[in-house]
Amino acid sequence: MAERTTPRTTAARRKRIPQPTTDELLARERALWADGLIHVAGIDEVGVGPLAGPVVAAAVVMPRGAGVEGVRDSKTLSRKQRERLDGEIRAVAIGIGVGVVSPEEVDEINPYQAGIRAMQLAVRSLPTVPEHLLIDARTLPQIDTPQTAIVAGDKSVHAIAAASIIAKVHRDGLMRGIDEDFPGYGFARHVGYATAAHLEALRRLGPCPVHRRSYAPVRALLGREASSDDRLRNN
């Protein structure tokens, strides 16, 4: 008989997947530190996929030789774990920069470019000048600092994983504030992602100012509303 897969068994399987140790995650930084560099920044972004809210990126520079135990890809952590690690990273880091791109900008320049822009803003807001950038899966134009793009870097590089935690906690906090400004959508729970509850609220209430007009579910709903308005005007 085939095993029945449930969310609980899926979560249990995730827990059984071996996580890299802090020493393993620090391998990239150690190689750069060994070359004499001091300020190595990890950069990551969150929030490209949601239907609403900003895209947020973070850049994190840790002290030479330092790591925070338990840091890993923010998507594998609970909210409680992320918030605890956010505080521990901030207590140790030499510098942290955060970049925020509004929903309007996401619609204007497209989601991928919004992620690039948020990362650029995060790097430029660092209080220390980085000597090398370790970036999750991309490079940043208009940034002269030497940089390395690492596919799945948030899973394999300590500084990038730390940046993913800082960015996620910052964005989730923004979405809780947005939930207070625009109640009824459940932004504090789904943080803008296209969950069934969010889509139902979107159909019931219509888009609010923080919804991304270029995303298909929002665009489709706006198109239906426009068609309905045209029919009313023509009757």
176-214 pLDDT, tens digit each: 999 999 999 999 999 999 999 999 999 999 999 999 999
Average pLDDT for 230-235 = 41
* Same domain assignment for residues 131 and 175: yes
* Same domain assignment for residues 47 and 150: yes
* Same domain assignment for residues 160 and 229: no
Average pLDDT, the chain: 91
pLDDT of residue 152: 96
* Same domain assignment for residues 152 and 204: no
pLDDT above 70 for 216? yes
* Same domain assignment for residues 148 and 41: yes
Measure the CA–CA gap between 128 and 131, rounded to whole angstroms. 9
117 with 101: CB under 8 angstroms?
yes
Domain assignment present for residue 126? The answer is: yes
* Same domain assignment for residues 48 and 125: yes
Domain assignment present for residue 12? The answer is: no
In this prediction, residue 19 has a pLDDT band, given cuts at 50, 70 and 90, of confident
C-alpha distances (whole Å) from 25 to each of 39, 157, 233 are 17, 5, 61
Measure the CA–CA gap between 216 and 212, rounded to whole angstroms. 9
The strand ranges marked E within the chain are 40-46, 55-61, 95-101, 132-136, 147-150
83-94 pLDDT, tens digit each: 999 999 999 999
* Same domain assignment for residues 86 and 132: yes
Domain assignment present for residue 11? The answer is: no
Domain assignment present for residue 120? The answer is: yes
70-111 pLDDT, tens digit each: 999 999 999 999 999 999 999 999 999 999 999 999 999 999
- To 5 degrees, how large is the angle CA 29–CA 153–CA 112? 130
Q: Domain range for residue 94?
A: 19-181
**Number of folded domains in the chain?**
2
Domain assignment present for residue 3? The answer is: no
* Same domain assignment for residues 160 and 227: no
CA 37 to chain CA mean position, Å: 27
Domain assignment present for residue 8? The answer is: no
4-13 pLDDT, tens digit each: 444 444 444 4
pLDDT of residue 223: 80
Residue 199: both structure tokens together: 């889509």
pLDDT of residue 7: 41
* Same domain assignment for residues 83 and 100: yes
Q: Which residues contact 66 (CB under 8 A, 6 or more apart)?
A: 92
* Same domain assignment for residues 135 and 161: yes
* CATH code where residue 75 lies: 3.30.420.10
| Beta-carbon count within 10 A of 51 CB | 23
* Same domain assignment for residues 53 and 152: yes
H-type alpha helices, 35-110: 79-92, 103-109
Domain assignment present for residue 6? The answer is: no
Domain assignment present for residue 203? The answer is: yes
HSE-CB at 38 with a 13 A cutoff on CA atoms is 4
* Same domain assignment for residues 177 and 200: no
